[in-house]
Amino acid sequence: MSYCLNPTCPNPENPTHSERCQSCASRLLLRDRYRVIKALGQGGFGATFIARDESLPGEPSCVIKQLRPSGSAPHVLQMARELFEREAVTLGKIGNHPQVPRLLDYFEDHEQFYLVQEYISGATLQQEVKAQGALSEASVKQFLTEIMPLLQYIHEQKVIHRDIKPANLIRRAQDSRLVLIDFGAVKNQVNQTAALQSGHTALTAYAIGTPGFAPPEQMAMRPVYSSDIYAVGVTCIYLLTGKSPKDLDYNPTTGEMMWEHLVPISTHLSRVLRKMLEVSVRNRYQNAGEVLRALEMEPYLDSLAQSLILQPVGGIKEQVNNRQDDSAIINSNSSGSHSSAGVAQVAAAIRARRAKVAEATGATSHRLVGTKTNTWENKNTDIIQNSQSQIIRQLNTEGLRNAYTKGRRDFASYNLSLLNLQGIDLSGTNFHSSVLERANLQGANLFNSDFGRASLNRANLRDANLSKAYLSHADLEGADLRGTDLSYAYLNNANLRGANLCGANLTGAKISDEQLALAKTNWMTVRPNGKRGLL
């Protein structure tokens, strides 16, 4: 089919190879090369179409955006023209990023303005949620770790997107990577002086954004970089609940979105999302890097907070002082750290201080203070202190199984090495930063579990279900992953040196060619694109 781009055409559909529209006689081959085949949608300032580029071999698909102002008044036309020129400049500047559509062409034809972009095949996050339901906490963490580096890149180019939402995020079918589309609402001329003086960018002439996803300062025509962070936060709530902002209640006093009662997520993710969704720009994360650091800091702070109940035998005053000292170390480092190394510095500083306290008091043993433990924990949990004065929790097989049966899902920073967990159901569990070296997890159900930064060195994961598991920065060196289901797992930055992936299913997994080159694969290995064969 050939689709007519004349906005007033009564019947835009035409036979495939027509030269002119049968209804309005408009030329159908745009710029003598682009043939529009169907409409994708229409917004306030333009319409979007899928087209074929007949000037190239294979006639590849592309996306064409047409200026289509909602009125004929001069100021409306000028506004639409500025939006399209802005999007062209922005895409030309940032379109070399793999998660942004490339700008292929930009031109004016008979007083109409057109953008030609790379066509991204795949489903939007909005379509995914409507088809499959709300996402899990681990999946939302994966989403944040993938979208935040992209947002950081965009902001470094002095670009504010201003319309981040599930409908503008496509999971590319080719490699399952998220691609951010629709840069028509961007603000790419940030007035740095005004931003420094007033805390926001220079005023725009009109408010742009999707109500509910855009924060108050953006709707008041004062967008800042953290406006995009707010929109990502609202997107996370949509992914977790399946509800649009208009379907949620708001606190009438503060204006804050009320969502936490709808999703049983961990305290740390709830904390991160609350700060992303702060109504006040001053209290919100100021840049994407801060969000990433908060996500990286989370498991360490959780384990450190838990370990504060383990104090050297002594008086209550000493315990309180220790807690205050630890908090001071965390607070002094959290604002000054600008890399993931800051996490290790915080932990190391606390360990060093505790070592000095232990040495000064001559303490050689630890006890639980101010907490009541479960029977399974007393019986099956060993709490020891290593030479670096670091608290390590250990569980035996029976203890882990009983704890999971009773509803516990958080085993972050535990030592579970050498445990025989063959065939066990541990789906949806948090093993962040845990040690599972040489553990037997053959045939285990680990669906949607969090193994971020965990050590699975030489673990037996043969035929296990690791679908949608989070394995970012995990150590899988020498692990047996033969026949393992790793479909849609997040393996970015995981160490796969010597890992055996023969017969593993990596459909839709987030993994690089460089990582796979370090692992063992064979013709039975299913690649991320869903095809079987050597990698």
| Helix H or strand E segment including 254 | none
Measure the CA–CA gap between 394 and 214, rounded to whole angstroms.
45
Measure the CA–CA gap between 205 and 197, rounded to whole angstroms.
20
Longest dimension (CA), the chain: 93
Measure the CA–CA gap between 176 and 159, rounded to whole angstroms.
25
Which strand ranges, in their side-by-side order, compose the sheet holding 381-385?
381-385, 391-395, 414-415
- Sequence letter at residue 37: I
Q: How many residues does the chain have?
A: 535
Using alpha carbons, list the distances in angstroms from residue 401 to 361, 415, 471, 500, 512. Answer: 38, 15, 22, 27, 34
What is the distance, to the nearest Å, from the Cα of residue 180 to the centroid of all Cα atoms in its chain?
Answer: 12
29-30 and 34-42 as β-strands: parallel, antiparallel, unpaired? antiparallel
**Per the structure block, which two tokens stand in for 378?**
């007393």
- The answer to whether the CB of 462 falls within 8 A of the CB of 442 is yes
- Sequence letter at residue 9: C
34-42 and 249-250 as β-strands: parallel, antiparallel, unpaired? unpaired
Helices (H) and strands (E) in the chain — how many of each? 13, 18
The active-site residue out of 163, 302, 463, 475 is 163
**Matching residue, tokens 């205050």:** 324
For 246, the 3-state DSSP assignment is helix
**Per the structure block, which two tokens stand in for 201?**
């960018």
- The answer to whether the CB of 217 falls within 8 A of the CB of 255 is no
Measure the CA–CA gap between 123 and 121, rounded to whole angstroms.
7
Measure the CA–CA gap between 55 and 247, rounded to whole angstroms.
47
For 505, the 3-state DSSP assignment is strand
Measure the CA–CA gap between 71 and 75, rounded to whole angstroms.
9
**Matching residue, tokens 């010597």:** 498
Smallest CA-to-CA distance from 90 within 182, 167, 13 is with: 182
- Sequence letter at residue 123: A
Sign of CA dihedral 181, 183, 189, 191: negative
Q: How many other C-beta atoms lie within 10 A of the C-beta of residue 248?
A: 16
Q: Is 163 a catalytic residue?
A: yes
Residues with catalytic roles: 163
